[in-house]
Amino acid sequence: MVLTVVSFIVVLGILVFFHELGHYWVARKNGIVVEEFGIGYPPRAVKLFTYDGTDFTLNFLPFGGFARMKGEDAGDLSPGSFNAASRLGRAATLAAGPFMNALLAIVLFGASFMAGFPAPIAYAQISSVADGSPAMEAGLQEGDLLLMAGGKPARVSATTELAYDVVESDEVAAGSDTDQLLISRDGEIISLPVQTSVSASQLVDDLTYVPVLMTEIKGVAEDSPAHLAGIQAGDLVYKVDDTVITAETPLNGAIQQALGTEVIITFLRGQEWVEIAVTPRVEPPPGQGSLGVEIGGISTLATLPLLPALREGVISTGQYIMLVLKLPVMILMGQLAAEDAQLSGPVGIAQMVGGAVSATIDTGLWFPILRLSAVLSAALAITNLLPLPALDGGRLLFIALEAIRGRRINPEREGMVHMVGFMLLLGLLVIVTVQDLRSAQEGIDWISYLGQ
């Protein structure tokens, strides 16, 4: 409980600090006086210092923070007040907070990719080998399937679009020889001796390959065709008849084309090839597929260098923001039930943060807290831009109306609208919090997600 509360305060404090820092910086650039930059909410605990006319304070309520600008919520049009600034200056000041949260989300997402993230992996079936490369020197040929290198499973990126580095385990497989490569050539598993131990990443740097063996049997239903044929959990699917299973030709698609017809599925079981004849059902029982198996990808920890990580951070932030924008449309169109959207208040978010921090402590991996903080920062950015009174987006809406009308809306009336909107938002916050307390939030199973 203490860990959850403290974690929530720290994470929320960081997100709000950068949000308000954006408001502060851009306000000062536009000649707006920032009277107080507060960490937490009043009553004030202590004034830390004064810088260039702004009091920096620490307050007793540790949730969030604020940048109080001169005349922000009143009809004050005196020099240095928010309302006296230009239309563009006011709009930039309001947009700066959400912008900082979006920027922070990019950095946090990027950091999660650099710190080690669960990534889909596969084994490399070689398409071509470069002359003079370590792979050619090791005796690898076109068509070979690399299984082990350096005494470890030769796992590589399951996609050629994102070249991440697989984090290799320190454990060497039992009974393996670190100075040998284990490969499959023409359906036969053989060993190739090498002069020094090499890793899979060193070998695949100078060759092209097709990612295969990326689909694992996670479970087998009793009395299903798979169970009766002898398929086992842990088997890696290689091909169905002559069709090699890849990302472009998934197992489900291959099986759907063979309903009611016997097929030969080739599996890698440990370090052996196993061929099993099975007939997919045309009409399987409810909750089961044609084979009666549960399948999934295989994953391990991977990392990205700085620039690719930041690129993925930009992509992840954009994808999350688009998802948030699509949710209301999906609910209205019946594509998503309202209860499945899982709107969370402070209590639900605190529980998620506590779970992520616990997972980080238990695994020693920073991914859970970095990824969740990135999601929360992106959510804070897009939520604050919603055109609702009291939010930055609501204030931007008034500036847009001002531009259309050619004259200002009375600042005092605008302030009243924002005050009413603030009270309504507080009411919604209370309702969501009560809902959080009544219903148990389904937390994220970070341990399983990370494969720990």
Query: Amino acid identity, residue 388?
Result: L
Decide: 449 and 363 in contact? Cβ < 8 Å. no
Decide: 156 and 299 in contact? Cβ < 8 Å. no
Alpha-carbon torsion 399, 401, 404, 407, what sign?
negative
Instruction: List the beta bridge partners of residue 239.
Output: 244, 266
pLDDT in tens, 57-116: 999 988 788 999 998 766 777 889 998 899 999 999 999 999 999 999 999 999 999 998
pLDDT at 409: 79
Among 269, 211, 280, smallest CA distance to 241 is for: 280
Just give the CATH number of 215-297: 2.30.42.10
Tokens of 208: 């092209």
Residue 195 has φ and ψ, to the nearest 5°, of: -70, -40
pLDDT at 338: 54
pLDDT in tens, 140-194: 889 999 998 877 888 888 876 677 777 766 555 555 556 788 889 988 998 888 7
**DSSP letter, residue 32:** -
What per-residue string of b and e applies to 54-67 under the rule 16 or more CB within 10 Å gives b? bbebebeebebbbb
Q: What is the DSSP string of 300-338?
A: EEEE--HHHHHHHHHHHHHHHHHHHHHHHHHHHTTSS-G
Average pLDDT rounded to a whole number, residues 397-411: 85
What per-residue string of b and e applies to 292-313 under the rule 16 or more CB within 10 Å gives b? bbebeebbbbbbbeeebbbebb
